[in-house]
Amino acid sequence: MMTSIFFRNIARNFLEFIYPPLCVVCDSPIGADDTLVCGGCWGGLKRVEGPVEYGILERSHIDEIRSGFYYDDILQSIVHFLKYHQAPGLAKKMAELAAPELMKHPGWARADALIPIPLHKAKARERGYNQAEEIARHLSEITSISFWPDALIRRTNTVSQTKMKNAQERVDNMKNVFDVRRSVLGRRLILVDDVITTGATANACAQALKQAGAQSVNVFSVARPIFD
């Protein structure tokens, strides 16, 4: 058995030497410690400083929004690969890089729980996982903030927000979609997602949590758009 494993490792190392794995963003060879994306692309992400104060159209039930990075072409490629190519390992790296933005704000670091924006169970089965849940799980490990993956459910399998023509359609698409499934009374909560765009989905989640008695609901995303 040990001999078989030894020779398989030799074969894999030889193949990687001849055909090194390439970055899913730029096609450059990646190192042994990289996860599908090269160090140059990870290092090229543009950090966001401060809260997201404008550009998010739907935020009436959200107390504050913060993001780790701007959603540029590099991060768009990484997020797309995470969501549609069975690559949950990318979520861990994204969480590691984005976590400092969350932790440097004392009020956020003292939150009671991280709650991922939920996928409908049919869509989660199709993808194999909920990328927001994977990111939130790793953020919890890094920050020691509790992880509540079961606090919210999406009871309607809505049309993808990316297919909506405008912001109002996105808002209408999210009406009465989410249910709270555990006590959040008096809790300070952080919703977690990969990208926040118009805010329609996050705001609908925050509304459900506030109606269930949450004290505050902030939103943390790995990425946010670059607003002119």
pLDDT attached to residue 14:
45
**Residue 6 reports pLDDT greater than 50:** no
Q: Please tell me the distance from the alpha carbon of residue 8 to that of residue 130, in angstroms, as a whole number.
A: 32
The reply to whether 194 and 120 lie within a common domain is yes
Q: Do 100 and 211 have their domain in common?
A: yes
Q: Are residues 31 and 76 in the same domain?
A: no
Q: Are residues 40 and 51 in the same domain?
A: no
Do 101 and 155 lie in a common domain?
A: yes
Q: How much is the pLDDT for 228?
A: 62
Same domain, 91 and 167: yes
Helix (H, G, I), strand (E, B) or coil at 32: coil
Tens-place pLDDT, residues 26-46: 999 988 778 799 999 999 999
For 171-194, the DSSP string reads HHHTTT-EEE-S--TT-EEEEEEE
pLDDT digits (tens, 9 = 90+) for 82-100: 999 999 999 999 999 999 9
Shared domain check, 109 and 215: yes
31 and 58 inside one domain? no
> In this structure, what CATH number is given to the domain that contains residue 79?
3.40.50.2020
Range of the domain at 61: 46-224
CB 110: neighbour CB atoms within 10 A? 9
Q: Are 105 and 146 a contacting pair, CB within 8 Å?
A: no
Mean pLDDT (the chain) is 87
pLDDT of the residue at 171:
57
26 lies in the same domain as 106: no
Total number of domains in the chain: 2
pLDDT at 20: 74
The pLDDT value recorded for residue 124 is 87
